[in-house]
Structure 1
Amino acid sequence: MAKASTLSIEGIRRTILRGEWSPGERLQPITLATRFETSTTVIRESLTRLAGEGLVMIRPNRGFFVTELDLRELADITELRCVTEALAARLSIERGTLAWEADLIAAHHTLAQTARRRPEDPDHVNDEWSKAHREFHLKLLEACDCAPMVRLSSNLADSTELYRRWAAPSSAAGGRNVEREHELLLEAALNRNADDLAQLLREHYEATVKVVIEAGLVDAATTSV
């Protein structure tokens, strides 16, 4: 049962992140059980777990739904992330060793050498790139040597993942030079320039909010930010 649950959780998570279901769409356990070749009990357990990750909503007496996008929430999360990571980045630069620098360069090299989009699937972000992207950003902050701060940054990154993934097919996302943004982040860290790094991180994250708006995923005109 545990293995089946893990497989269904990963399958549903991957499908949501790829945007196969629309924000707010109802998720039918019977249909999902057939798709993922498991029981409705396992599916319900998986959906409940994913609700804890913010990918699924549970509405009493109505069932399970894909989470809806909220621009105000994204803006708030982004601001909290910018403030948190500005402090974490400053501490990383103060406390980071040469070994940290070497690990950061290696993490960036992996990211730079991993295709953000595969030729056979240009509308979606490559899962391997997403993993390398996450590891690079965590490595930037790792040397702060403050586990609660790193954990908070990681959780905030998870909270924006759905927005980034769903915006991926848009022309706004495709036209962004993310590779150069990461190069500048690396340079600021290696130059031990905390102010530049904090500002570049803010610009990097706020650019994601702009892409989400331009992608038309939420109605910016009716949402207060």
Structure 2
Amino acid sequence: MAKASTHSLEGIRRTILDGFWSPGDRLQPTTLAEQFSTSTTVIRESLTRLAGENLVTIRPNRGFFVPDLNLSELADITELRCVTEALAAKLAAERGTVSWESSLIAIHHKLSRTPRRLPEEPDRVNPQWSQAHREFHHQLLAPCECQPMLKLSGDLANFTELYRRWAAPSQAAVARDVEQEHADILDAALARDAEKLGQLLRNHYQATVDVVMHSGLVEQPA
């Protein structure tokens, strides 16, 4: 049962983050149980856990849903992520070892060599790039050695990744120079410049909000 639960949890998480469903789509436990060859009980447990990661919304008496688009919530989540990661980055810069620097450089190399878009699917983010992207940001903060902070950062990253996936076809997303943003972040981390690193991370995450605002995904308030 534990193996089936882990399989369904990771499978549903990956499917959501890959943008398979649209904002607000209902997630039917019976359909997902067939898809992942498990029971509806296991699926409900997985969906409940994913709700704790901000990847699923639970509506009382209605069921489970992919989160709706909400620009105000995205702005608040982004601010919380910026504040959290500024502290984590400060601790990482202070505590990081030479081994950490080597690992970070290696992961950045992998990220920079992985195409963000694939020729056959130019309107979608390459899943391999997304995986390398998550690894880079996790490794960046890993030396802070504060697991609650790292978990919070990861959960907030999942939430904003949904928006990035949905906004991927927009011209604002295509024109953004994400590669240079990551190169600058790496340089600041290796220089142990915590203040600059925190500011670059804020700019990096705010740029995602700006892309969503200009993508037309969410109607902005008058």
The alignment's TM-score, normalised by the length of structure 2, stands at: 0.86
Deviation larger for 55-64 or 130-139: 55-64
| Structure 1 residue 179: Cα displacement | 0.5
| Structure 1 residue 187: Cα displacement | 1.1
Deviation larger for 143-152 or 200-209: 143-152
1:148-190 deviation line (CA, Å, top 9, x unaligned): 3333322322232211222222221111111110001111122
* Residue number in structure 2 paired with 1:175: 175
- Whether 1:197 aligns to 2:197 is yes
Percent same amino acid at aligned positions? 69
* Residue number in structure 2 paired with 1:60: 60
* Residue number in structure 1 paired with 2:12: 12
CA distance, structure 1, for counterparts of residue 41 and residue 145 of structure 2? 41
* Residue number in structure 1 paired with 2:47: 47
* Residue number in structure 2 paired with 1:129: 129
CA distance, structure 2, for counterparts of residue 127 and residue 59 of structure 1? 29
CA distance, structure 2, for counterparts of residue 11 and residue 46 of structure 1? 10
| Structure 1 residue 128: Cα displacement | 1.9
SS of equivalent to 1:123:
strand
CA distance, structure 2, for counterparts of residue 163 and residue 131 of structure 1? 16
CA distance, structure 2, for counterparts of residue 188 and residue 87 of structure 1? 15
CA distance, structure 2, for counterparts of residue 188 and residue 136 of structure 1? 14
The alignment's TM-score, normalised by the length of structure 1, stands at: 0.85
* Residue number in structure 1 paired with 2:109: 109
| Structure 1 residue 82: Cα displacement | 1.3
Deviation larger for 5-14 or 79-88: 5-14
* Aligned-CA RMSD value: 2.3
CA distance, structure 1, for counterparts of residue 5 and residue 37 of structure 2? 11
Aligned length: 222
SS of equivalent to 1:187:
helix
5+ residue gaps, structure 2: none
SS of equivalent to 1:103:
helix
Letter in 2 for 1:126: N
With over 3 angstroms needed to count, the CA separation of the structure-2 counterparts of 1:205 and 1:60, relative to structure 1, is same
SS of equivalent to 2:101:
helix
SS of equivalent to 1:88:
helix
